[in-house]
Structure 1
Amino acid sequence: MFLHARRFDTDNPSTAGVHGTPATATSVDLTAAGYLEQEFFLSGTATSYREDGDWGPDGRWPVTESGQAPYRTRLLVRRPADPARFNGTVVVEWLNVSGGVDVDVDFGYMHAELLQGYAWVGVSAQAAGVNSTGGSPLGPAAVGLKAWNPQRYGPLHHPGDAYSYDIFSQAGTSLRAPRGADPLAGLDVEHVIAVGQSQSAMRMLTYANAIHLHDEVFDGIVVHSRAGFGAPLGSGTGIPALDGPDGPDVVSPARVRTDLDVPVFQIVTETELFELGGTPERSFVAARQPDTDRIRTWEIAGAAHSDAHSLRILYPQYTAQFGTIRDLAAVVPIVNDGQQAEVVSAALRAMRAWVVDGVAPASAEPIETRSGAIVRDRHGNAVGGVRTPAVEAPVASLTGESVHVPNNGATVRLDAETLAELYPAPDGRVAAVTAAVDRAVTAGFLRFEDGRALVSESRTSQL
């Protein structure tokens, strides 16, 4: 463990300013779920790191401390209003800043499971979420915390992404042993799980490979939708991989190190297999590795990096926060509408069982690939991988490969003749969905309640 002492404090921010809610306030109905949303500031002195020796594909990435700087950032907390509902597990999300603002992508994918008793904490770990002043692909109104509400967030100070990993560690530590205001209001925290999606997933990989064994803060790490490499220790996402003056910014392909003392769960969609990395050697396929007693990887057939489920949650959230932004609602009908969220919720439940009870999730076959491409069946759906009812009892071709919108995949409805061939009996699709649900629930790839809902939906859906 690093010798530096973590020096941090938490306090309640001002509620002043033109906006009456915190930034990144969710569009999910927390009140109906019996949850509260609150915000805290986290301040202290953070440490930066640099590579200490060679970083190779095996993920055993040595680092050494390289500097310290003061910081003040924020934590966004969602917890059960009734403490008796808390299940002892906190999920800590590295908020995504690909759009230049803090985004809680994994809360959107996991919320069906999270709101069953977990606490969730989003961390403004990177500088862009705090400091950005424009240039977002979402539109000119989408800006970082300080520009969005100067009265509320003016006291924040982020010294740069070189300090992001230690800031994230200190955020996790503050939930177990708060100093100052308690972000979890006295909840008895038993386990803390780190999660991150997309750009944040690359940060999670680097955190697992370079930081975790030194800081030992988290009981498990979920890496959701990463390419074949990790993020750099400093700023940026690692796209593209370029050699800097002090050595390589990223390593590709990069695997999860196999000597970790906590479980790491990788969740991958079709998009990451080849597209997200940009080149074959930077693709997730190049970084594939066998499951171990501490590593699991689920590749979800028929899923995309960002899909209709995510956009349905994030678009009203964006518009509530920023007003006029890019019209994401227009692309919802054409992007991938697979069942990624159901699998991600099942993965979180399985991860908690792994952390709490030591019961490892089921292993899954990878999606079948050949000659740099995904192998597809006659309906256009991927072969292999985690199988959902959407691909086992299809009414559409679901791809994670870019068709209309980069990284969002597509949904192409099967024609009437094909549907009649697949389901000649009146209740043929209901039977096919039921059988697919039974297989997925038994394997642990779907939660029972989600499977039941999908069967019910199939009874009322029109072919």
Structure 2
Amino acid sequence: MPQIAPVPASGRLPLASAARHGTEYVDLEKLGYVEEEYYMVGLAPAITAAGERLFDAPYVTRFLIRKPKDPGRFNGTVVIEPFSWMGERGAGWILTRDYLMRKGYAFVGYTLSINRPANDPKTLEWDPEPRNLNLDFMRRYDYKRYAPLGSYYDSDRFRRGNGPDQYPPQAQGIAAQLALLLKSNLASGPMPGLNVKRLYVNTWAINGQLWFDYLDQGRHQQWRMPDGQALIDAYMTGHVVYGDLGGEVLRTPRNLPGDAPFVTVYSQTEVVHDASQAIALPPDTNQPKLRYYEVTGMPHLRLADQGTDSTEPHPADGDKRNEPQCQFLYDEPVETVVSAILEAMDRWVRDGTPMPKAERVVREGQGVARDPHSGNLLGGVRPPWIQVPSATYLTDQETACGTVYDTKVPYSAQRLQALYGSYTQYAGRFEAAKQQAIQEGYLLLEDARRVQPVAVPQDFTRDRQPKP
């Protein structure tokens, strides 16, 4: 059991705080939530990428907890997420925060990072002067608050593939100890008076590999609550191709649990990557509880998905500014799809109702198949903006625009008129697509108002122009 202590006030809001105005912001007071920050201290095993447990070492990390003030509003479930080492971003929080707070979940985001080593696997090639990586970045932001943080790392002894392991060797142990702390319902814990019954993982992008390793190496079965129950009741990861940063390329852990769902959500970027590499995806099964969702019209990163104060180059800022395929980012409300998938996973845990199964995106040779009429991918989870499109959605792998953002090519006014006749007819078909998404389980009724037609009336009379 780790030890915890409240982080003393420093005069600044914590990194990744929902109270900082930016992409992670919500009005906690208005929604009846409180946010607290704690140090967490313990001994955790140092484990290699191959799963060898070498020794135990001390660590000091921190976590942010957001929980209902009123115990009666708490639904008994905590969602945990390690913050991305790129700016302490909580991508899972950004994608599901409205749903979580509407339904009375608690959320815990925690730091999973190291002091910057001389041989830093995350920055050797692509960022020689990192501004937002590792604990150095956190200390520059608030030295008083984050100076004590640290965990073990040795780039020579811990390897993944042909290079240093990008993931802290103590990552699995820290995750398990946090789960143990939260599910033990200690009077001295961070949730006194709130009875935690379930704990889910919701982790996006790079850190999703942590949970793949955790399951693949059998930690779910080995590390349990004192009564034998699971520490973690469900795993959801997204926007990650396992093995992409070195090591073995697998899509399913070899030790899938029998008592917890494992869910992966792919954006178009991951779909196109796996298709180009001819990587086969596993079939969805109800035992073990496995689901893969390939969501069309979902970019790897939106402007809204960045952490507060984080920036990424826009394709129009560089030498691609005049490329037609690089002018428009797509930022449709994919959080509505993610929230619906999370709700379905919750039902699977609570009452045993299996999650919906979605067909895979259609492959064509070593690539993806596109509809010749719309230009969009065939198959997969198809949100309303793909069912009734007003643009062709592409990935950077296809356009070579050169950024982590993906881009779309809006239809011309002439093409919109040929497809739909008028804006009114287009909007009517878009509304019908929303109802279909609700029936299929990929849009919640409470979120339907957030999904609005992408094209506007003016797009039917004049071609869309990039914003200056």
The normalised TM-score by structure 2 is 0.80
Match of 1:175 in 2: 182
Which amino acid letter does the alignment assign opposite residue 98 of structure 2?
Answer: A
Which amino acid letter does the alignment assign opposite residue 13 of structure 1?
Answer: V
Query: Is the contact between residue 185 and residue 192 of structure 2 (CA under 8 Å) also seen in structure 1?
Result: no
Match of 1:383 in 2: 378
Which amino acid letter does the alignment assign opposite residue 109 of structure 1?
Answer: L
Please tell me whether residue 364 in structure 1 is matched to residue 355 in structure 2. no
Please tell me whether residue 108 in structure 1 is matched to residue 94 in structure 2. yes
Match of 2:79 in 1: 91
Which amino acid letter does the alignment assign opposite residue 358 of structure 1?
Answer: G
Aligned-residue CA RMSD in angstroms? 3.0
Superposed CA offset, 1:310-348 (max 9, x none): 24xx3xx126xxxxx666698897322234221111111
Which amino acid letter does the alignment assign opposite residue 81 of structure 1?
Answer: K
For 1:197 and 1:127, locate their aligned partners in 2 and report how far apart those are by CA, in whole Å. 19
Three-state SS of the structure 2 residue aligned to 1:350 is helix
Superposed CA offset, 1:347-385 (max 9, x none): 111111111111111000011121222211222211110
Please tell me whether residue 79 in structure 1 is matched to residue 46 in structure 2. no
Identity of aligned residues (%): 24
Three-state SS of the structure 2 residue aligned to 1:385 is coil
Match of 2:464 in 1: none
Shift of 1:137: 5.7
Please tell me whether residue 427 in structure 1 is matched to residue 424 in structure 2. yes
Shift of 1:83: 2.3
Query: Is the contact between residue 130 and residue 146 of structure 1 (CA under 8 Å) also seen in structure 2?
Result: no
Three-state SS of the structure 1 residue aligned to 2:375 is coil
Please tell me whether residue 318 in structure 1 is matched to residue 309 in structure 2. yes
Match of 1:410 in 2: 407
Match of 2:162 in 1: none
5+ residue gaps, structure 2, are 154-167, 224-229, 318-325, 461-468
The normalised TM-score by structure 1 is 0.81
Shift of 1:411: 2.1
Which amino acid letter does the alignment assign opposite residue 309 of structure 2?
Answer: Y
For 1:461 and 1:351, locate their aligned partners in 2 and report how far apart those are by CA, in whole Å. 40
Please tell me whether residue 150 in structure 1 is matched to residue 148 in structure 2. no
Q: Quick check: 364-373 or 179-188, which moved more?
A: 179-188
5+ residue gaps, structure 1, are 1-6, 53-62, 231-237, 242-249, 320-324
Between the two proteins, the alignment pairs up a number of residues equal to: 411
Superposed CA offset, 1:87-129 (max 9, x none): 11111012211x2x32101111111211211111012123269
Superposed, 1:36-435 pairs within 5 Å as 36-50=34-48, 63-97=51-85, 99=86, 101-116=87-102, 117-127=104-114, 141-142=131-132, 143-160=136-153, 161-177=168-184, 181-210=188-217, 211-215=219-223, 216-227=230-241, 229-230=242-243, 239=245, 241=246, 250-257=247-254, 259-261=256-258, 262-275=260-273, 280-281=276-277, 286-293=279-286, 294-311=289-306, 314=307, 317-318=308-309, 334-377=328-371, 378-402=373-397, 403=399, 404-435=401-432
Query: Is the contact between residue 9 and residue 179 of structure 1 (CA under 8 Å) also seen in structure 2?
Result: no
Query: Is the contact between residue 110 and residue 345 of structure 1 (CA under 8 Å) also seen in structure 2?
Result: yes
Query: Is the contact between residue 224 and residue 266 of structure 1 (CA under 8 Å) also seen in structure 2?
Result: yes
Shift of 1:427: 1.8
Which amino acid letter does the alignment assign opposite residue 112 of structure 2?
Answer: A
Query: Is the contact between residue 361 and residue 378 of structure 2 (CA under 8 Å) also seen in structure 1?
Result: yes
Superposed CA offset, 1:158-217 (max 9, x none): 123111110011111111126685222431111100121111112221122222221241
Structure 1 runs of 4+ with >4 Å offset: 128-132, 134-141, 178-181, 325-333, 455-463
Three-state SS of the structure 2 residue aligned to 1:419 is helix
Q: Quick check: 383-392 or 251-260, which moved more?
A: 251-260
Superposed CA offset, 1:391-438 (max 9, x none): 111111122344434332112211001111122145211221121111
